[in-house]
A and B are shown apart, each in its own frame.
Chain A
Amino acid sequence: MANLICKTSKYLVLVFMALYTIKCYTYFTAKDREKRNSNLNKQIFYIFMIHFLCHIMLFINKEDVTVLIYYVVEIIIAILYIVLFRIFYKNSSKLMTNNVAFLMLIGYTVLLRLSPKLAVRQFILASIGLGVTIFIPFILGKFRNMKDRYILFGIFGILLLLSVFLPGVGKVVNGSRNWIDLKFISLQPMEFVKIIFIFFVASSLVKLSTLKELIINAAISAGFMLVLVLEKDFGAVMLFYVVYFSMVYLATSRAIFPILGLIFMVAACALGYMLFKDSLFAHIVVRVLAWKNPFAYQDTYGYQVCESLFGISSGGFAGTGLGNGMPYLIPVAESDFIFSAICEELGVIFGLALILIYLSGFIAMQNIAMKCKQPFYKYVTFGIAISYIFQVFLNIGGAIKFIPSTGVTLPLVSYGMSSVFSTLICFAIVQFVYILVSKEADDFEKERERIAYGEGSQNVSRNETVPGKRTRKSKEK
């Protein structure tokens, strides 16, 4: 009987997952607000069903009552987050709050399966993160002169990055010196510097008027990346690089910059390979070899990728069901290779849906950036969107051997407090821009009404349509 419940749950999760994914996309095509809102409410229902069924599977397989306690606490926090965000910010993007809640719940579930200890830590820290970042849109609203602070962003960002070289504080993990150990907590400064970097580039690009300024800006940005190269954190270098050139492309509207960037990157890689094959680049050479033919090096550096592929392929399209596979065999399954652990037990179909959900989050962010008319916030949103999707690409691509693995986390799902915190901050910033955009639209509407009212005596018919529209709108909110 237990077996039957597990199997049914497994397939139901896939069905709800598919429905959730579809709703992520039909949101964009929905004609009116009512339809959108019903879509969003259905999404919340699917989130709870998926989460519930996963915990049923975990409960049956682990035969552990604490799973139920985790379930209750997790779901309470998720509801609190969704409700509070809606109350605090009437104009916030509900699609985005849904996605945040969904991804975090998936993360907790998989971590609970892999290691309850990590799940609890992640849960506590992420809950604090949610509690703190919920105020970010409000705080950003108070600081309206952010775009003038680019010198501050630049200096602060580089100093923070350099902190990993402080003796006694910096820590080497997996060959990269990119952690700082503050005794009570370990942090990856890169995750936060990423955001500062986006603000730095955005603020200096807003002011940009001459080529000289662009070169200075490029030099400082290169400084960021140089520090990352010294840390041997090559995943981060790629991330910063792609974000930087995308943002320059947006600010200048000239395709020549990203193309130059691409050529320069290939040249730099070739040169770096020739000069530092055995020292600085040894790290990369090994990862590329492990990517080209992991099974030839399966006892050494291909081990992670091999185990990851074993996990994905043994699980199959439908997965083994939570608790039935062996995802713990995959090294660092809780962060870099969490996607493989998900595919193994929840199924490749689940993994495919997850890819689409991440993509829909990116499209939503780009949509907001597109509507934003203030260049600074447009650039910031765009930078965050690119960094978010590129990180997903590096993580999932690395796990499924689409590209060499780079040791980047999967936003909101992977274990890691720096990563979760920084992603939550990013989402909160985008929420702020969304609120800004909605406010602009409202202001426009109000201005039009004001003028229309002023004309009221001359044109009666217009006078009637505008308030009519308004009442319908307020009802929807």
Chain B
Amino acid sequence: MSPEMRQFLEKEREKVKKNRIKNKPLVVMTYLFVLVFIGMFSYLIYFMVKDTDTVVAKSSNKRQDSFDKYVTRGDIITSDGVVLATTEKDAEGEETRVYPYGSLFAHTVGYNSYGRSGIELSENVNLMRSHVNIFSKVGSDLASEKNIGDTIVTSLDVNLQQAAADALGDARGAVVVLEASTGRILTMYSNPTFDPNDIDNVWASVHSDEGSSSTVLLNRATQGLYAPGSTFKIITLLEYMKEHPDYENYHHTCYGSDIFNSVSIRCSNSAAHGDLDLAGTLAHSCNTSVANIGCNEIDIGELNKLAESLLYNGELPYDGEYSRSQFKLTADSNYSEIPQTVIGQGDTLVTPLHNALIMQAIANGGVLMKPSLVDSVQNADGVTLINYKSKSCGSIIDPELTQDIIPMLCQVVTDGTATQYLGSKPYTVAGKTGTAEYDNSGNCNSWFVGYSNVENPDIVISVVVEDYTTNQTSGTYVASCVFDAYYGY
């Protein structure tokens, strides 16, 4: 190699070396951005794997409506396979949503237009997604046919729902039945009801001038707020028992009416109950005795805490639409509000579902099970895709207190206000009646909350009947009809 060549190559090598040193920041920045892009790349995959299902299911996702180009909306059925909602296709391929039971499940199953409601709304995404096997899918692709959406298996029971509807008759009101140990909702009925097959006309009439005050679309079971009436006495008594472990020594003499904190409190029909212990107080739903407890025996601040731990003023563990119950009495409230509030009048409001949940917790020894309407999701061929297990929401009442109050709730049935309808049944029931005045002219709603088979609770029921005074259908009567249907009498 000539010196000239050597020199030339040497110079070149020098240049390359210098350039390499200069390039260090370049390499660093390149790696930095490669790293950032790997991060972004992985984030997108992570989003797709983890978050898509929840994002797609958001009710504000308008794209859900486009699924019907490829999928025929799936069925909604009961756990024993009775169809509650299905899609029928005519010769032209025109689809209509059909509800074989008409108005019976209107509020619970819901309707599939005008923004949807009920299960049609909450399970919309599952109904519009098809998980039929791959061969059927390719087959329908080739034939340009739609796939059939997944089936929603509900916990509803047609017999019980029918019994509740029949017992309620024309009376306005609501019935909720839960399976005690799991929280599965067997019945959820609200009256007045409507026919979802005819939703166009119903919607038009509700949104016309005459119908603007109509509450027909309201699901009273979850959204109707009622004064709890005497059913609230359970909570007042639980508080008393909590503060007074010697509650068995309680005594009160009822004269039919009395003055508490300068408020006059009367028992039903001003009938004097005479000498009562705590169990007798509950069994006969004695207003003066409970007012006495509220005004003289318990700490109102603690009562408020207990009510809130029993889900007043808070969220219910329920996925559908519901109204929040309210309990306004606090330690700072005017003391003249105490007597009315502790017997379930005043500003307190509760939904039938909420009242059922309190009773269910008592039946379960304090443990609340999350109420659910959907058991599972199946594909159109009946293969289970998702199985929803019953979920516990933890203990909300001291188990010992529930053990103490259950015999008293039994006495309501054996020797108390519920004896007329439930006293002589072949099954045992624990519960509480209630008559809640909602105006000053003596009009009232009738309640019953309770559960059957006290030793090993089967079902929990919560009934409210509006305008008891005019239609004379009591909550206890409706409950007895549903229990009869459940046990097959």
Contacts and interface: CB of A to CB of B under 8 A. Distances in A.
B26 A325 contact: no
B37 A316 contact: no
**Highest count of chain B CB atoms <10 Å: which of A366, A390, A396:** A366
A359 B37 contact: yes
A362 B61 contact: no
Contacts of A358: 37
Interface in B56-88: 56, 58, 60-63, 66, 69
Contact of B61 (A310, A447, A448): A310
B37 A393 contact: yes
B26 A311 contact: no
B25 A253 contact: yes
B24 A373 contact: no
Interface residues of A, number: 59
> For the side of the interface on B, what is the size category?
35 or more
A454 to B, nearest CB: 7
Interface in A301-350: 306, 309-314, 316-317, 324-326, 329, 348
Nearest to A249: B25
Interface string B1-42: 110110011001001000101111111111001101101110
Contact of B45 (A3, A352, A363): A352
B30 A366 contact: yes
B55 A309 contact: yes
Given A3-B144, A400-B40, A253 B34 contact: no
The B interface is mostly helix, strand or loop, or mixed, namely: helix
A304 to B, nearest CB: 13
A246 B1 contact: no
B33 A393 contact: yes
B63 A348 contact: no
Nearest to B9: A448
A311 B19 CA distance: 47
A250 B25 contact: yes
A313 B26 contact: no
Interface string A355-370: 1101100110010011
A113 B67 CA distance: 19
B141 interface: yes
Given A313-B55, A348-B44, A355-B37, A253 B63 contact: no
Given A310-B61, A314-B61, A400-B47, A253 B30 contact: no
A311 B63 CA distance: 8
Contacts of A1: 144
A19 B421 CA distance: 77
Interface in A426-472: 444, 447-448, 451-452, 454-455, 458-459
Contact of A389 (B28, B33, B141): B33
B2 A373 contact: no
Contact of A455 (B2, B28, B55): B2
B63 A316 contact: no
A451 B52 CA distance: 66
Nearest to B15: A373
Contacts of B48: 312-313, 316-317, 348
Contact of A447 (B8, B29, B43, B62): B8
B142 interface: yes
A283 interface: no
A386 interface: yes
A363 B56 contact: no
B51 interface: yes
A470 B60 CA distance: 66
Contact of B141 (A4, A329, A348, A448): A4
B41 A352 contact: yes
A4 B138 CA distance: 9
B25 A310 contact: no
A235 interface: no
B55 A369 contact: no
Contacts of A348: 44-45, 48
A70 interface: no
B62 A329 contact: yes
A311 B27 CA distance: 36
Nearest to A311: B63
Contacts of B55: 309-310, 313
Contact of B8 (A298, A306, A359, A448): A448
A94 interface: no
A444 B25 CA distance: 26
B33 A359 contact: yes
Contact of A356 (B5, B15, B41): B41
A295 interface: yes
Contacts of A369: 26
Contacts of A316: 48, 52
13 contacts: A7-B141, A246-B29, A255-B25, A295-B60, A312-B48, A314-B61, A355-B40, A355-B44, A363-B34, A390-B33, A455-B1, A455-B4, A459-B1
Given A3-B144, A310-B60, A314-B63, 19 more contacts: A246-B29, A255-B25, A313-B48, A313-B51, A313-B52, A317-B48, A325-B63, A358-B37, A359-B34, A370-B19, A370-B27, A382-B26, A382-B29, A386-B33, A389-B37, A393-B40, A396-B40, A402-B39, A451-B5
4 tightest Cβ-Cβ pairs between the two chains A and B: A313-B52, A314-B63, A313-B55, A250-B25
